[in-house]
């Protein structure tokens, strides 16, 4: 069976929506708390901002915003995986966002 290449744009939007839902569930309450006391707030705020930029980048012709947003999401997810000790729960919780960030860093808006 041949792959359906016409469905690739829809799959990329589903990935964008998936990372938005993950970030919404995991980081939005922390980002909206406006507690500037800890690093967790800044990580959550950056994840929310760059996820929004990833969604906006999908509407642009140039892919630079998508690539930069994917890079930042990847880096933040990897940092969050390993802060506070290496635990399987932390790795599992942040692996999906890291993988999606890596994909958009590598591909941008192509395809």
Instruction: State pLDDT tens for residues 52-88.
Output: 999 999 999 999 999 999 999 999 999 988 886 777 8
* pLDDT tens by residue, 51-61: 999 999 999 99
% of the chain with per-residue pLDDT over 70: 97
Closest CA to 109 of 52, 50, 60: 60
Tokens at 49, concatenated: 């901002």
At residue 19's C-alpha, the angle toward residues 100 and 35, to 5°, is 120
Closest CA to 49 of 36, 74, 31: 31
How many whole angstroms separate alpha carbon 31 and alpha carbon 108? 26
Is the distance from CB of 98 to CB of 78 less than 8 angstroms? Answer: yes
Task: Kindly state the average pLDDT of the residues 83-98.
Answer: 82
């Amino acid at each position: 069976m041949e792959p359906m290449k016409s469905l690739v744009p829809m799959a990329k939007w589903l990935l964008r929506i998936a990372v938005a839902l993950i970030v919404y569930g995991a980081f939005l309450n922390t980002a909206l708390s406006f507690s500037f006391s800890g690093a967790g707030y800044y990580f959550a705020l950056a994840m929310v901002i760059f996820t929004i930029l990833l969604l906006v980048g999908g509407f642009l012709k140039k892919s630079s915003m998508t690539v930069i947003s994917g890079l930042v999401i990847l880096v933040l997810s990897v940092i969050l995986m390993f802060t506070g000790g290496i635990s399987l729960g932390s790795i599992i919780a942040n692996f999906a966002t890291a993988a999606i960030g890596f994909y958009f860093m590598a591909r941008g808006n192509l395809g």
